[in-house]
Structure 1
Amino acid sequence: MPALVPELVNAAMESSTLPSDVLRRALVVAQRLGVSELTDWISSELKGYKSDDVPEYRRVRARFMGLDEKGNLIQFPTSPEMIELFSNFAVRDSVSQLMRCAQDKITIYSVPTSIDERFTQRAYEKYGFRMHPVRVLSDIQQQGILEQVKTRVLEWALDLEVKGVLGEGMTFTPQEKQTVQEQHYHFGDVSGSQIQIGSNGSQQTQTQTGGDTAALSALIEVLREAIQQEHIEAEAREELQADLATLQAQAASPKPKWAIIKATAQSIKAVLENAVGGVLSAKALPYLTALL
């Protein structure tokens, strides 16, 4: 009978094998070996991610465009800061969805309803016609995600082969299972590698890169209080409320995206300088400076 791991290696190497099929083969191996880290990752890839907390290879730079009433894509008229903010996109689709979308040259993703209504109304007031803000991904970007998935499975399967974990007869011996249990496989993103492999009990150090969480929390509180006081012009209030919601979502995330936080801070700074000023600007500026 064939061996599970060599078959998985061959499938991951073969360009004609669908990524979804590679993942299902990997799921069999992972479950029979008891590798929960891989099982969780495969489940997210097959079913789709439930939040924006996705692996780094699923974070892409989308084109932030406008979709008019005739279905035409046009450049959306907004600030560079807002374009930067909404261009950073976490692709949550399942592998099967990505495979279908990649058959077309582009895929259009809508933005949250609250953001759509805000920008659509603003475009109508300024230009006299409705334009919905959307994110646009190319087929090349989607294919890139699919290739990353197959590569991760291949690297893991090759590591198993090197360690003599083969799964002859479609099953694994107690010794093979013990060998895997002595390893730690991390399928999140590690700089310079696709997967992180290390022995249990070994120490690994990693520099924590991020931003000023204290400044983020303080800025959220300043904005919340200012908005509640109701002495800000309606348009500026609307922009600050949207920015506040973005900051609160990032602050609540176990892995806040500091690039998004920085872009939002830039947007807030522009609003304060152009439309608000005064006491609120003085209160918020130190925290904005810390985040920029």
Structure 2
Amino acid sequence: MVLELQREAYQQQTSVSVLLRKAYTLSRKLKVEEFTKWAELEMNGYKDNMDELPDYRIVYGETKALNPYHGYIPAYFPTEYQEILRKRKMPPPLTEIELYVKQGEEKKGNLLYKYSSETQMTFKKMSKSEFEVSLHIPVSQFNTILDKVRNIILEWTLKLEEEGVLGEGMTFSAQEKEKAVKSTATIITNIGTMINSQLQQNTENSSQTLKVEGFKMENLSSLISELEKLQGEITDPALKQELASEVEVLQSQVKSPKPKMGIIKEALMSVRNIAEGTTGNVLASSIQDQVMMLLASLGGS
């Protein structure tokens, strides 16, 4: 079973999702709990376990605005926030990642991520434009996720073979199970390591650009309204209180005749961390985008 899985991982003819199910079965038989847990997360997705999302499931794209006359044009933000705005975490099950790759290949190598309607409104206010902004992610970024999972499985089976863990048919001895647990430790430690990959820059229709203007207090007021809604949805008392404190700080700055940008910036960064910790909440996801836009405008002011 080990050598069969190793051969399939090497030859690359078997889909990664099928390889993953076989690796999951193998890890269950060998009672390698850590590898089993990783395989389960890859099969079922990380939506409820975002704190365990490995680095290789982070993808990067290029922000673009849709100009009705010139097509997609680059949308630029201050350098210190460009990386944050270009980054997306990918928690879906591996089968969905495979589907994204198929869709991307059909769409000339790029996948389009649309920001929420609330975020679009913030973009429009800041840029004084009606252009819709979206994130364009090269399909190669999703292929990198699949390649990483395939490589982890291949590396694991090679390690098992080196330790003499081959099994007889579908069964393994007690000694083989013990060796498997020890040899897997290194693999698990390295799973979170980031794979270096070059981002494909798509420069078509780039004769025009969209730039975000400086910070505006009305955009902060809109965010505060969204944060008050989020307060009602948070069930964790400590997190709820923390958010309430930051909202109070922001409200005081909105009312102040001389608002301090440094205080606003610090409060926004705290709000961003709170929103990131509220996994699985649609409103929190939208708020993260809005906060990034406000931080970007502060960076450019």
Structure 2 match to 1:290: none
Q: Which has the higher contact order (CA 8 A, sep 6+)?
A: 2
Which of 86, 95, 113 is equivalent to 1:109? Answer: 113
- Which blocks of at least 5 consecutive residues in structure 1 are unaligned? 195-219, 254-263, 275-292
1:231 is matched with: 255
The answer to whether the 8 A contact 1:6-1:166 is kept is yes
Match in the other structure for 2:85: 86
Q: SS at 1:32's partner residue? A: helix
Task: Identify which range, 142-151 or 38-47, moves more after superposition.
Answer: 38-47
Q: Residue 98 of structure 1: CA displacement?
A: 2.0
Deviation at 1:31, TM superposition (A): 0.8
What does residue 29 of structure 2 align with?
A: 32
Alpha carbons of structure 1 residues 79 and 153: separation in structure 2 relative to 1, 3 Å: same
Name the aligned partner's letter for residue 145 of structure 1: I
Aligned to 2:274: 248
Shift of 1:110: 2.7
Partner of 1:271: 298
Distance across 1 between alignment mates of 2:299 and 2:165: 60
CA 1:66–1:162 in structure 2 vs 1: closer, same or farther (change >3 Å)?
A: same
Q: CA deviation at 1:267?
A: 6.8
**CA displacement, residues 142-170 of structure 1 (integer Å, 9 cap, x when unaligned):** 11211111000010111111111112121
Shift of 1:28: 0.8
Secondary structure in structure 2 of the residue aligned to 1:73: strand
Tell me the secondary structure at the aligned position of residue 187 of structure 1: helix
User: Tell me, which stretches of 5 or more residues in structure 2 are unaligned?
Assistant: 196-242, 280-290
Task: Specify the alignment match of 2:210 in structure 1.
Answer: none
SS at match of 1:97: helix
Residue in 1 that maps onto 2:165: 165
In structure 2, what is the equivalent of residue 289 of structure 1? Answer: none
1:152 matched residue in structure 2? 152
Q: CA deviation at 1:246?
A: 1.4
Match of 2:88, SS?
Answer: strand
TM-score, normalization: structure 1? 0.65
1:71-92 deviation line (CA, Å, top 9, x unaligned): 9433225433332221122222
Whether the 8 Å CA contact 2:54–2:191 is kept in 1: the answer is no
CA distance in 2, matches of 1:243, 1:23: 38
Identity across matched positions, percent? 24
What pairs with 1:1-292 in structure 2 (closer than 5 Å)? 4-50=1-47, 52-53=50-51, 54-67=53-66, 72-103=71-102, 104=105, 105-112=109-116, 114-123=118-127, 126-127=128-129, 129-131=130-132, 133-183=133-183, 185=185, 187=188, 189=190, 224-229=247-252, 230-231=254-255, 243-249=269-275, 268=295, 271=298, 274=301
Conservation of the 8 A alpha-carbon contact between 2:56 and 2:192: no
Q: Distance in 2 between matches of 1:147 and 1:238?
A: 42
- TM-score for the superposition, normalised by structure 2: 0.63
For the 8 Å contact 1:243–1:267, the answer to whether it is kept is no
Give CA-to-partner distance per residue, 1:53-76, whole Å, 9 cap, x none.
Answer: 421112232212234679943322
Contact 2:78 2:299 in 1 (8 A): no
More moved, 110-119 vs 33-42: 110-119
| CA gap 1:188/1:62 in 2 versus in 1, 3 angstroms | farther
Instruction: Note the alpha carbon deviations across 1:117-166, whole angstroms, 9 max, x for none.
Output: 3224444xx12x241x3222112221121111100001011111111111
Q: Is the 8 A contact 1:223 1:240 kept in 2?
A: no
Distance 2:251 2:92 in 1: 37
Q: CA deviation at 1:40?
A: 1.7
Contact 1:55 1:188 in 2 (8 A): no
State how many pairs are aligned.
Answer: 233
In the alignment, the residues of structure 2 paired with residue 130 and residue 188 of structure 1 have an alpha-carbon distance, to the nearest angstrom, of 44
Counterpart contact for 2:122–2:293, Cα < 8 Å: no
- Distance in 2, matches of 1:167 and 1:20, equals 23
| CA distance 1:77–1:240, shift in 2 (3 Å) | farther
Instruction: Report the Cα offset of residue 38 of structure 1.
Output: 1.4
